[in-house]
Structure 1
């Protein structure tokens, strides 16, 4: 199979979209498929990944958030790239701007496409002070996703969001987790002593430091006795969060072996954002044997089995979040059982399995496209 992946984000930016595209490319290489990547041009954009070419297209940095780049390439450019590569299917990763142009190119050239819904951008509008933009953004998302042969949502909640917005042909495709990289054995007691010299329990967060992640909600945990909050990530709210959480340890963005070591060294993991379509860091915490706590909205609903592998609290109920953190930190036996069950719940969710499912969706999209062409 020949797969062209058009992604709104790629290296050197490290985020959920980039991460999943990398895993898909590695799987396609391992299984003998051919692929190419089309991504926004950036100073650190690689020329290839997993042996596949990466083509950069014109883009500009998003004002106030330089890590996010917006492509400015017209439809004809995608048509030329597709004509050169001759893909069997086009994978549209988190399509918004360039994904729309690529989808139009697919439609014009008669190429099947699979749109991967990954980021709840319309709901971000309120977090960024633009609530009136939300219905307009949902209208745009419906337009973009309706151009695709099929759309894949990462969770049951996200799928229902898209269906309610008028998007048709929506399936489910979750995400894998590297249960060898993220493993309880990576727990590092020496590292813990550096962060908690007085034996404090560690409350962890990993992710972007941006408005939609609601990291400021962790302020309700600041005065829990015998605890230390550890925050991993970077983003536009970093300086503000340091003022809100003066006692927290900010480690910046961690990669390589440092990230799994940090995750396994936490006692509980809190993901306070209410706009997560999936939340990969919850799976990584679970694989590390660390029980997660998150709002009962979006992707966490599918990932956390409340009272068994972690806790869910009602969105906005920060007292409930605090109570769940206290519950697990105050009971070592319960926390250990939750952590063990969390690990067991995700061990089978390998990237090999989930990417094989994705290739099956590619084949389904190709067949659907041919059926529609014959019917026309």
Structure 2
């Protein structure tokens, strides 16, 4: 049996706002602790976190991001944090966002000859187009390349993401860390027609669901445009929005007939998602679509952008429909086909559910553990060779 590891994990958001990325990190830490490893997490903190952290969390100095104050940007590693890191004496440093603290952590790892690995959760460079800052995308990509090439390896959630990163020359060594789904929480049995009726939705109405943070980079404009086109075609449907965020007012104005149920958690979230009939995810910013997999586990057919967040999850024409990003007509065509054909909804939903049942968290997180050992051993092997 391999010796237990000491792992220093750096995150831009470990638990102060709930999202798919930090829930995956917390689940990973829980697995690692259960395997006997020591983990210390370094992340910005707030007085009102969204959920309790898994593991020992050390706060990093940070400031609220302008126009997105719910998120915080770490300003770096203070002397106290550096002392804490040195005292912890990790075997490997794991960063999960390309911020200043992560850059300093990787620099520390290089100075002290520790293994270093980065996990990719979000296509940060794609955010810029939503704020009309596309001109800075090459510069941001260059900064990310400089950081990621200092790491011994990258962890990515899908082969489609790996292909993009290879093409961008981010790193030569890439391991897959896919995502699982809690099948006890997300499953078709959570569907609740009584709950729908309380919202004013008739049993025979077809509901198109959205789940996620209500922020522009989730493709809210594309979602609204596709639903508007569906309405213009005379295709009856209802829209159910699960989640909250700074763009809620904008989204509600764009879709005045939609039902907004706010942020849901636990079984309430699972009930809301399973009570939809179709899931629409037009986002192109995710490295992996956690919500897409949760919808599939709930038995829903999925219409999604043919981008890194869905390409490796959905089998086009089998468990859902992939659409070229931004092609509103194609989104509307896919939605119309599902609205008109209950048998097609059931068939694609069943195939998606079958795929979701194969996504076991224990095996998935064990792959990360194995990647840690591989990069640590490779760095030790190189050191031995240089010492000869």
Same fold (TM over 0.5): yes
Q: Matched residues in 1 for 2:193 and 2:147: separation?
A: 48
Q: Matched residues in 2 for 1:245 and 1:197: separation?
A: 16
Determine the structure 1 residue equivalent to 2:222. Answer: 217
Determine the structure 1 residue equivalent to 2:213. Answer: 208
Determine the structure 1 residue equivalent to 2:122. Answer: 119
CA contact (8 A) 1:202 1:267 kept: yes
Determine the structure 2 residue equivalent to 1:19. Answer: 23
Q: Matched residues in 2 for 1:46 and 1:292: separation?
A: 28
Q: Matched residues in 1 for 2:81 and 2:98: separation?
A: 14
Q: Matched residues in 1 for 2:107 and 2:280: separation?
A: 40
User: How far did residue 205 of structure 1 move?
Assistant: 0.7
Determine the structure 1 residue equivalent to 2:314. Answer: 304
Query: Cα RMSD between the aligned structures?
Result: 1.8
Give the alignment partner of residue 272 of structure 2, picking from 262, 276, 290: 262
CA contact (8 A) 1:47 1:53 kept: no
Is 1:194 the counterpart of 2:198 in the alignment?
yes
User: How far did residue 203 of structure 1 move?
Assistant: 0.4
3-state SS of 1:304 partner? coil
Runs of 4+ in 1 over 6 A off after TM superposition: none
User: How far did residue 48 of structure 1 move?
Assistant: 6.9
CA contact (8 A) 2:239 2:259 kept: yes
User: How far did residue 75 of structure 1 move?
Assistant: 6.7
Distance 1:296 1:16, change over 3 A: same
Unmatched tracts of structure 2, length 5 or more: none
TM-score by length of 1: 0.95
3-state SS of 1:182 partner? coil
Distance 1:189 1:134, change over 3 A: same
1:181-219 per-residue CA deviation (whole Å, 9 max, x = no partner) reads 101111111112123433321100111221211112222
Is 1:333 the counterpart of 2:343 in the alignment?
yes
Determine the structure 1 residue equivalent to 2:302. Answer: 292
Give the alignment partner of residue 70 of structure 1, picking from 57, 73, 87: 73
Q: Matched residues in 2 for 1:160 and 1:100: separation?
A: 24
User: How far did residue 374 of structure 1 move?
Assistant: 2.4
Q: How many residue pairs are counted as aligned between the two chains?
A: 375
Determine the structure 2 residue equivalent to 1:87. Answer: 90
3-state SS of 2:312 partner? helix
Q: Matched residues in 2 for 1:313 and 1:362: separation?
A: 36
Where do residues 173-192 of structure 1 align in structure 2 (5 Å cutoff)? 173-192=177-196
TM-score by length of 2: 0.92
Q: Matched residues in 1 for 2:328 and 2:199: separation?
A: 25
CA contact (8 A) 1:57 1:73 kept: yes
CA contact (8 A) 2:64 2:72 kept: yes
Determine the structure 1 residue equivalent to 2:242. Answer: 232
Higher mean C-alpha displacement, 189-198 vs 239-248: 189-198
Higher mean C-alpha displacement, 165-174 vs 270-279: 165-174
Determine the structure 1 residue equivalent to 2:291. Answer: 281
Q: Matched residues in 1 for 2:374 and 2:22: separation?
A: 24
Q: Matched residues in 2 for 1:258 and 1:47: separation?
A: 16
User: How far did residue 41 of structure 1 move?
Assistant: 2.4
3-state SS of 1:303 partner? coil
Determine the structure 2 residue equivalent to 1:354. Answer: 364
Where do residues 30-109 of structure 1 align in structure 2 (5 Å cutoff)? 30-45=34-49, 49-50=53-54, 52-74=55-77, 76-109=79-112
User: How far did residue 346 of structure 1 move?
Assistant: 1.5
CA contact (8 A) 2:279 2:302 kept: yes
Determine the structure 2 residue equivalent to 1:148. Answer: 151
Is 1:243 the counterpart of 2:253 in the alignment?
yes
3-state SS of 1:247 partner? coil
